[in-house]
Structure 1
Amino acid sequence: MILSEIWVYPVKSLGGIRLAEAKTEERGLQYDRRWMIIDENDVFITQRVFTKMALIDVELLSDGLRISYRPEPKNPVIVPYKPVSSKPVTVTVWDDVVEAVTVCEEADAWLSSTLNQNLRLVMMPDSSFRKADTKYAKHEENVSFADAFPYLIISQASLDDLNSRLAEPISMRRFRPNFVVTGTEAFAEDQWKNVMIGDLNFEIVKPCARCVLTTINPETAEKGSEPLKTLASYRRVNNKVMFGQNMVVKDIGTIKEGDQLVVY
């Protein structure tokens, strides 16, 4: 079994970035969902409501994030890794209240103009802590601005199985995993408890329940009924649709495409 893809999503609900290698951290891969967009009430926003966010791409540069709107690629904004405005703000992401800091007024203005809302970009500093659900994460692990857990793994065979049932195949981008694995049976990851990728150890904590965000085409920002409609016909557990597995990390280090995955 081989780690075939590594993905990070620096700004929650904006475009993902495929990497050849990445550093693991307790709250997720380095840069993964450390930034988030909030509204006037300091509450996070996502593609679930603002589908246009699917058309905003993010790149990792040496001096910061390059954020661009695909229909207007010549008008990007550069977001420095170290916040400039750096004003403390208490933000809400799902049921959690988290301490964050503002980043820069240029990014706020760019996002507000692009999405036609009064918005701000915030960053999670290292001094801020957000606990993963202790019902599943047994060691009080912290998580970034990700929905629930630091890591998400999906096998390519699971997507292939799903696509064999769809009228039009979809890409793995719909599911926003951190890790994609090849060389498995479909949904083999459902049975895993502990895995080693390269020389780093991870613990599977729970299946990932999927939401309407998976029905938004990342290429066009159009919303449909698939793949949730089809997944619900054979991947429903306790009225939730499951696809992929949430994980926590046990080791800090570097992970690379092509690393071998071992289940134990």
Structure 2
Amino acid sequence: MGARSFSAAARLGLPASWLPALALAAVALGAVAWHRARRRQRRQQVGTVSQVCIYPVKSCMGVQVDAAECTALGLRSGSLRDRFWLVINKEGNMVTARQEPRLVLISLACDGDTLTLSANHMEDLRLPVETPATNALRECRVHGLDVQGRDCGEAAARWITSFLGTRPYRLVHFEPHMRPRSSQQIKNGFPPTDQVAYSDVSPFLVLSEASLADLNSRLEKKVKASNFRPNIVITGCDVFAEDSWNEVLIGDVELKRVMACTRCILTTVDPDTGVMSRKEPLETLKSYRQCDPSQVKLYGKSPLFGQYYALEKPGTVKVGDPVFLLGP
């Protein structure tokens, strides 16, 4: 081992015996960087981002934005975070449009430190984006897993309860220090590092306009992308092309496809009226979007529409960004 290596160890305050391991780590990191650069060189444009959408309150109306930061827990634009607010019942169980379809009629806006909820025949509800630390912590359950939420207060509870008019509900907020849910505990296809706050299973849902158009060509009454609540909508690609994009580059963000999104009765809620038909587009999807028989254990009998992606490299996605398929 040369004098230069001993000098480097001394400057780092490390024993010289550590240098071989450090050198191997540096080589490994260099190899990863080289491989990533090579994959970027072999990229192929497969589409363009046409929509970026954040759903701050689970099951409520989405907020379309021009750009959003891709974080480990989903999209963020300013103070808006994807599925960081949740309606719960008195037992702490999540309440979504599956149980209360009219949730989709609640719209949201964010101005500085204030989150505003609006709905027809209701005065606007204004809440601080950062829920006061003096508010109670609630133990909640989302798809069978425990997760905490900070209670947003009595005014929020009265507003949600009054609008829905069925039973008492409360609104809670997920905070960065709280422990997220493990995606792998919900669906086996996810790596153990993937986590979510109140999202169903994944922080990123990708859908193409071509796939939506193909579905609408089979329906008497057309549906919108908002029936399926995607985060990123892609234009300029073939029908169901998103099903085969294993890794994509959007802006400086790298996403890796994990699995298809199984569809449920929530897709039959009309986002304009809040009425659940319990039939379409779900019945039509069942007729042609079932999984391969070899994947029944993973997907069951639910139809597939849209793809869940995991975050490989954080950054920002923008409307108009080209979508590149990364080579092997």
TMscore range, shorter length: over 0.9
Distance 1:249 1:2 in 2: 18
Q: Which residue identity lines up with residue 25 of structure 1 in the other structure?
A: T
Look up the match of 1:107.
Answer: 156
Q: In structure 1, which of residues 52, 55, 63 is the aligned counterpart of residue 113 of structure 2? A: 63
Q: CA deviation at 1:95?
A: 1.3
Look up the match of 2:302.
Answer: 240
Asked whether the 8 Å contact 2:252–2:314 carries over to 1, the reply is no
SS of 1:83's equivalent in the other structure is coil
Name the CA shift for 1:86/1:250 in 2 (closer, same or farther; >3 Å).
farther
Look up the match of 1:86.
Answer: 135
Look up the match of 1:16.
Answer: 62
Asked whether the 8 Å contact 1:79–1:104 carries over to 2, the reply is no
Look up the match of 2:205.
Answer: 152
| Higher mean C-alpha deviation, range 104-113 or range 222-231 | 104-113
Q: CA deviation at 1:99?
A: 1.8
> Which structure has the larger Rg over C-alpha atoms?
2
Q: In structure 2, which of residues 162, 165, 169 is the aligned counterpart of residue 119 of structure 1? A: 169
Render the CA deviation track for 1:148-198: whole Å, top value 9, x for unaligned: 111100000000100111112111110000000011100011111111111
Look up the match of 1:199.
Answer: 252
1:120-135 map, 5 Å: 120-128=170-178, 129-133=180-184, 135=188
Distance 1:147 1:12 in 2: 9
Q: Does 1:181 align with 2:234?
A: yes
- Please list every run of 5 or more consecutive structure 1 residues that lacks an aligned counterpart in the other structure: none
How many residue pairs get matched? Answer: 262
Look up the match of 1:47.
Answer: 97
Which structure has the highest strand share of the two? Answer: 1
Q: Which residue identity lines up with residue 122 of structure 1 in the other structure?
A: V
Q: In structure 2, which of residues 280, 285, 288 is the aligned counterpart of residue 226 of structure 1? A: 280
Q: Which residue identity lines up with residue 93 of structure 1 in the other structure?
A: V
Q: TM-score, normalised by structure 1?
A: 0.96
Distance 1:218 1:228 in 2: 15
SS of 1:250's equivalent in the other structure is strand
- The structure 1 segments of at least 4 consecutive aligned residues displaced by more than 3 Å after TM superposition are none
SS of 1:229's equivalent in the other structure is helix
Render the CA deviation track for 1:197-244: whole Å, top value 9, x for unaligned: 111101111000001010010001112211011111100123120000
Look up the match of 2:124.
Answer: 76
| Higher mean C-alpha deviation, range 8-17 or range 129-138 | 129-138
Q: Which residue identity lines up with residue 226 of structure 1 in the other structure?
A: E
Q: CA deviation at 1:250?
A: 1.8
Q: CA deviation at 1:53?
A: 1.0
| Higher mean C-alpha deviation, range 173-182 or range 92-101 | 92-101
SS of 1:133's equivalent in the other structure is helix
Q: CA deviation at 1:139?
A: 4.5
Asked whether the 8 Å contact 2:85–2:171 carries over to 1, the reply is yes
Asked whether the 8 Å contact 2:182–2:192 carries over to 1, the reply is no
Look up the match of 1:5.
Answer: 51
Look up the match of 2:220.
Answer: 167
Distance 1:43 1:247 in 2: 26
Q: Which residue identity lines up with residue 127 of structure 2 in the other structure?
A: V
Distance 1:48 1:252 in 2: 32
TM-align CA RMSD:
1.3
Distance 1:89 1:223 in 2: 29
